Structure 1
Amino acid sequence: MEMMIMILLLCSIIFMTILFFKKQSSEKKHNTPPSPPRFPLIGNLHQLGSHPHRSLCSLSHRYGPLMLLHFGHVPVLVVSSADMAQEVLKTHDRVFASRPRSKIFNKIFYDGRDVALAPYGEYWRQMKSVCVLQLFSNKMVRSFRDVRQEEISLMIEKIRISSSLRINLSEILANLTNNVICRVALGRKYHGKTDFKELMKRLTRLLGEFSVGSYVSWLAWIDWIRGLDGQLIKLSNDLDEFLERVVQDHVDGDGHDHRTDFVDVLLTIQREKSVGFEIDRLSIKAIILDVFVGGTDTTYALLEWAMTELLHHPECLERLQEEVRTICKGKSRVSEEDIQEMKYLKAVIKETLRLHPPLPLMVPHESTQDVKLRDYHIPAGTQVMINAWAIGREAATWGPDAEEFKPERHLNSSVDFRGQDTELVPFGTGRRICPAISFAVVLDEVVLANLVHQFDWRLPVESTEYHTDVAESIGLAVHRMFPLYSIASSTT
């Protein structure tokens, strides 16, 4: 029996190797983008490393800004320059507007019934219109101003109590964004609930996992052996149970703030059929999960990196404080009206997004038909990774000091991150641009302005961060590997 298994395994390997070389021969008939050498069966998977955005950026320096890799049997186009991002996300936007299938994402996000991961088509168009017109309209963003201000005030008081002591600023910022999004999307805070906190930790960790079976189908058993399949099933069931309870509480009118939140809006649309198509319970839960995942992790990551860079560049911190304190002289806090005048604040946000995009490899795209890119043949079904981290550090766009944190580079620049310019694409652009940009940015700006208005900041004496690179976490959204500890001295 063991001999038979060995023979079958050997035959499988030989068969797959033959297919590999046949595919390589077929590719040579077309003018495909430059590719690094790859192994049979696994392709270029071994070249990803623990921080794929950095590994792929290094490869692009050798093979160019449009590079074709193979993850197992899946062709993956890696885009690492603003010019090529323009071709993919603007010129051929419709061709690349879909999303690839992913075992992890589909299991957690109701088989693509959300907005971020749904395949391009009528369902996605309908759900996106709901988000743009109903959830993230300027009117809705303004309606949650009181929530933002209340949570910021609570954060400021918490920091003030620990004034002149070493505090975990990463944890404070994570709690703030979690509380704001919970109140906006779900109607009340859930951070104090131990089960919910643990649920979110599991979700964040699994979203950063790599599914071998999604790229090498005959090795799918590895996902089962290492427990990924079991964890996905357990997490998806637990998430659904929690979201079902939240939705039912809203249906029953129990347990949430009196103000209208996102669940209320979606239930009203479902009940009144006001958008011209049906929205079922699964779609409501998928969209709410989308909002929560997209709104907490990425917002907190941006604030954490902004404070990290400011603490590493005291001259930038002083300039920002001078601007904020001049505009808000005599005021106890910074309002959302005040930040409209703060040009350097907006430059700091832009520079942080340039160097530290929360999703350095944007959510993958997928081509729906064959297309030509700069005379290269790109077949239908090709996954596309936009390396926003590499684009933000491109010397051709940003100059020889592209690796340095210099907010002033944006003061006289028209380049923005709201979808018009591919030089800065932390939120994407084209059809798949994030619909919640305004919601996220206003929170980031007003939080950062209040932090520097209320306190003077410095790193602890024992910190070595001035002399070392700050390590990045591993996962879909990239944070600091270790929490940011700092000392805040109250100015009042």
Structure 2
Amino acid sequence: MGILKKALFSTLVAIALLCCTKPQFSNFSIPFPLKLCTLIIALLPLIIHFLHSTNPNSNLPPGPRPLPIFGNWLRVGNDLNHRLLAAMSQTYGPIFMLKLGSKNLVVVSNPELASQVLHTQGVEFGSRPRNVVFDIFTGNGQDMVFTIYGEHWRKMRRIMTLPFFTNKVVNQYSDMWESEMELVVDDLRNSERVRKEGIVIRRRLQLMLYNIMYRMMFDAKFESQDDPMFIEATKFNSERSRLAQSFEYNYGDFIPLLRPFLNGYLNKCRELQSRRLAFFNNYFVEKRR
């Protein structure tokens, strides 16, 4: 990875030096053979890195041949769905590798091999891959989902289990869960507005789930789908999901050459995270304390 970064940097420097000669120095020109040698030397680490990464004798799964810098991205595009991966497994076998920029993606499509990855070798594969956007939204992986498997993950599991998922908690909040579900049924059955205008059931179930979580965490709930606090909370979560799932950042995250163009996008993520944390602290966390 270090070789690739140095190669890209030296290549850009060489191109800039060779292409930005000012006209007033026209009496002195660099000979073409020297220009060619300079570019070859600058590109040599990149060529070595490319040849090494595509060496058929290396101990890596098979897969389509990657291109320099972009890898297989131009082939798979942004549509890396299960149908495409299933079709590629017919060509390259139950385990194959895609190179997305500077990172490798290994696809396992055989059930027995997937069991090895997820169960038998679960400790080795327990950590989820980190990226620049989720580092912003999770405090550099300090949550439970994106933290590295280890002592911190075990502490987070205890923190999440004791107040939410023990038998005592389930029994304590079972009446509340049932009452929230009954409110959904009552809205569908008795609401005059629902009979006249209809209802988006997904949105109503979202309100039910939010109320269950917020009553357990903050002892608070939203009155309806039109509650300004509910609209604000869902807006923050929807915007975070949109940014986290966008391919806008993937190019810069996977291709180091494009990272300078990522600053505007990352600033949007930081600003959203600041507003989201302020919302929870001001309206829920401080009141709970």
TM-score, normalization: structure 1?
Answer: 0.46
**1:180 has 2:208 as partner:** no
Corresponding residue of 1:421: none
Determine which of 236, 250, 254 is the counterpart of 2:288.
250
SS at match of 2:97: strand
Give the distance between the partners of 1:48 and 1:81, measured in 2 at CA: 24
C-alpha RMSD of the superposition: 2.8
Corresponding residue of 1:83: 112
**1:112 has 2:141 as partner:** yes
| 1:165–1:199 distance in 2 versus 1, CA, 3 Å | closer
Alignment of 1:125-136 (within 5 A): 125-136=154-165
How many Å apart are 1:116 and its aligned residue?
A: 0.9
Alignment of 1:467-486 (within 5 A): none
Q: Give the number of the structure with larger relative contact order, counting CA–CA contacts within 8 Å between residues 6 or more apart.
A: 1
Superposed CA offset, 1:49-103 (max 9, x none): 3353333233223322322111111111112232111111122122112232211
Alignment of 1:265-304 (within 5 A): none
Corresponding residue of 1:205: 242
Corresponding residue of 2:29: none
* Percent identity of paired positions between Structure 1 and Structure 2: 26
Determine which of 131, 146, 155 is the counterpart of 2:184.
155
Give the distance between the partners of 2:161 and 2:90, measured in 1 at CA: 38
Determine which of 172, 175, 179 is the counterpart of 1:146.
175
Determine which of 58, 70, 75 is the counterpart of 1:30.
58
Corresponding residue of 1:4: 16
Give the distance between the partners of 1:203 and 1:88, measured in 2 at CA: 30
Give the distance between the partners of 1:6 and 1:203, measured in 2 at CA: 44
User: Are the aligned partners of 1:49 and 1:55 in contact in 2 as well (CA < 8 Å)?
Assistant: no
Alignment of 1:386-401 (within 5 A): none
Corresponding residue of 2:70: 42
Specify the code of the residue in structure 1 equivalent to 2:288: H
User: Are the aligned partners of 1:68 and 1:75 in contact in 2 as well (CA < 8 Å)?
Assistant: yes
User: Are the aligned partners of 2:54 and 2:65 in contact in 1 as well (CA < 8 Å)?
Assistant: no
Q: Give 5+ residue unaligned stretches, structure 2.
A: 1-12, 21-38
Alignment of 1:316-335 (within 5 A): none
Range moving further from structure 2, 110-119 or 94-103: 94-103
Specify the code of the residue in structure 2 equivalent to 1:187: D
How many Å apart are 1:33 and its aligned residue?
A: 1.5
How many Å apart are 1:247 and its aligned residue?
A: 2.0
- Larger fraction in helix: 2
Corresponding residue of 1:69: 98
Give the distance between the partners of 2:178 and 2:127, measured in 1 at CA: 37
SS at match of 2:106: strand
SS at match of 2:86: helix
Give the distance between the partners of 1:19 and 1:67, measured in 2 at CA: 20
User: Are the aligned partners of 1:107 and 1:233 in contact in 2 as well (CA < 8 Å)?
Assistant: yes
| 1:20–1:248 distance in 2 versus 1, CA, 3 Å | same
Superposed CA offset, 1:376-430 (max 9, x none): xxxxxxxxxxxxxxxxxxxxxxxxxxxxxxxxxxxxxxxxxxxxxxxxxxxxxxx
| 1:196–1:164 distance in 2 versus 1, CA, 3 Å | closer
Corresponding residue of 1:16: 46
Give the distance between the partners of 1:67 and 1:215, measured in 2 at CA: 19
| 1:35–1:152 distance in 2 versus 1, CA, 3 Å | same
SS at match of 2:170: helix
Give the distance between the partners of 1:13 and 1:72, measured in 2 at CA: 17
User: Are the aligned partners of 1:65 and 1:81 in contact in 2 as well (CA < 8 Å)?
Assistant: yes
Give the distance between the partners of 1:179 and 1:159, measured in 2 at CA: 17
SS at match of 1:167: coil
User: Are the aligned partners of 1:17 and 1:41 in contact in 2 as well (CA < 8 Å)?
Assistant: no
How many Å apart are 1:177 and its aligned residue?
A: 2.0
Give the distance between the partners of 1:216 and 1:121, measured in 2 at CA: 29
The structure having more radius of gyration, on CA atoms, is 2
Specify the code of the residue in structure 1 equivalent to 2:240: L
User: Are the aligned partners of 1:48 and 1:56 in contact in 2 as well (CA < 8 Å)?
Assistant: no
User: Are the aligned partners of 1:35 and 1:68 in contact in 2 as well (CA < 8 Å)?
Assistant: yes
Q: Give 5+ residue unaligned stretches, structure 1.
A: 252-492
Determine which of 221, 228, 236 is the counterpart of 2:265.
228
TM-score, normalization: structure 2?
Answer: 0.74
**1:60 has 2:98 as partner:** no
Specify the code of the residue in structure 2 equivalent to 1:247: V
SS at match of 1:209: coil
| 1:176–1:133 distance in 2 versus 1, CA, 3 Å | closer
Range moving further from structure 2, 143-152 or 114-123: 143-152
| 1:141–1:6 distance in 2 versus 1, CA, 3 Å | farther
Superposed CA offset, 1:412-455 (max 9, x none): xxxxxxxxxxxxxxxxxxxxxxxxxxxxxxxxxxxxxxxxxxxx
User: Are the aligned partners of 1:43 and 1:70 in contact in 2 as well (CA < 8 Å)?
Assistant: yes
SS at match of 1:68: strand
Specify the code of the residue in structure 1 equivalent to 2:180: E
How many Å apart are 1:36 and its aligned residue?
A: 1.9
Give the distance between the partners of 2:281 and 2:207, measured in 1 at CA: 23
Corresponding residue of 2:255: 216
How many Å apart are 1:181 and its aligned residue?
A: 2.1
User: Are the aligned partners of 2:63 and 2:97 in contact in 1 as well (CA < 8 Å)?
Assistant: yes
SS at match of 1:238: helix
How many Å apart are 1:164 and its aligned residue?
A: 8.3
SS at match of 2:130: coil
- The size of the alignment, in residue pairs, is 246
